Every structure is written in structure tokens, then in C-alpha cells.
Amino acid sequence: MGKSVFAGFALGIAALSLTACGSGADQTAATAPDGIPGLEVSNARMVLAPVAGNPAVVYLDLVYNGDRGLALSHASVEGAKRTVIHDMGNVNGKMQMMEALPIVLKKGEKISFAPGGKHIMAMDVSPDLKPGGTTEVTLIVSGGDKQSFPAEIRAAGDPR
């Protein structure tokens, strides 16, 4: 019985979070200043899918040395119609890719978005994005602050 109560509570919190996200988070993000104090992004790269029309993936390294705690809530990729931050998780004994919960950033936090772990999926990528070029990636934290940076575009067979 304790597990079902906890599961119900967790689902209720998740539903409230999703409801809150749909109530104007994009409007806030569109007007928030660009740049998150203490957030440094390096090694950003987008790897295109081997089959045109399939999602591309963005990897990066992130270091946060800001003074206030934040939660990375979503991202956008220029030239993609939709993006989702994914993570790997254990579901019924099997590792699966799933949409990530907000990623808490504390001072000194280092997070690698890498194959087999956290990553950003970019869906419906424009055919104008070609290997050797760049695209702009934007990370958005709770409250709407955002930080944009260039990501090198790589072909499917290039090093990730």
C-alpha cells in the first residue's frame, strides 16, 4: 500500500509540473535575458542521423559555478522543429532512453551530455543543416533564463 500511495503522489507532482510547463514557460523564455551567470558550455556538437528525417542528437559538456541553484528544464536547437532532453533510466530491469526530469544544477556541478547518457534530441531537423556547419543550441532553466552557444554539426559516422 505504501508504494501505491508514493506512486500516486509522484504522478500528481508530475502532472502539476507538466501543467505548469504548458502555462507560458515558452513566453517567459522568449523574453528572458540571454546568458546564465556561472554556466559554461564546451565541446558542443550535433550529430546528424544516418537516415534523413530521423532525429539528430546534441552532446556537450556543462560546468555550473553560479551562486544560486537552478534546474535545466528544456533546450532548443536552431533548425529543429522540436527538441527533448533525454536521459537513460532503468525501466523494469532494462536501460531505456526517456525524457529527462529537470536537471538540478548546483555550484561546482559538472555534467556531460554524452552517448549512453544525457543528450538532447533534435527532431524534424532542417536539411539545410550539414556536416561542417554550426547551429545554435539554447539551454533554458526554470524561470526562463537561457544560454545559447554554437554546436558543430557532424555526420552520423563522425566521432561523437
Convert the pLDDT of each residue in 77-117 to its tens digit.
999 999 999 999 888 999 999 999 999 999 999 999 999 99
pLDDT of 3 above 60: no
pLDDT at 24: 40
* String of DSSP letters for 16-38: HHHHHHTTTHHHHHHHSPB--TT
Amino acid present at 74 = H
Asked if pLDDT for residue 152 goes beyond 50, the answer is: yes
- The boundaries of every CATH 2.60.40.1890 domain in the chain are 33-154
Give the residue among 70, 78, 88 at the shortest CA–CA distance from 145.
70
pLDDT digits (tens, 9 = 90+) for 51-67: 989 999 999 999 999 99
Q: What is the pTM of this model?
A: 0.77
The answer to whether 134 and 148 have CB atoms below 8 angstroms apart is no
Mean pLDDT over 120-149 rounds to 96
DSSP string, 85-144: EEEEEEETTEEEEEEPPPEEE-TTEEEEE-TTS-EEEEEEE-TT--TT-EEEEEEEETTS
SS3 8: helix
Higher pLDDT, 153 or 17: 153
CATH number for the segment(s) 33-154: 2.60.40.1890
Query: Looking at residue 54, what DSSP letter applies?
Result: S
pLDDT beyond 80 at 15? no
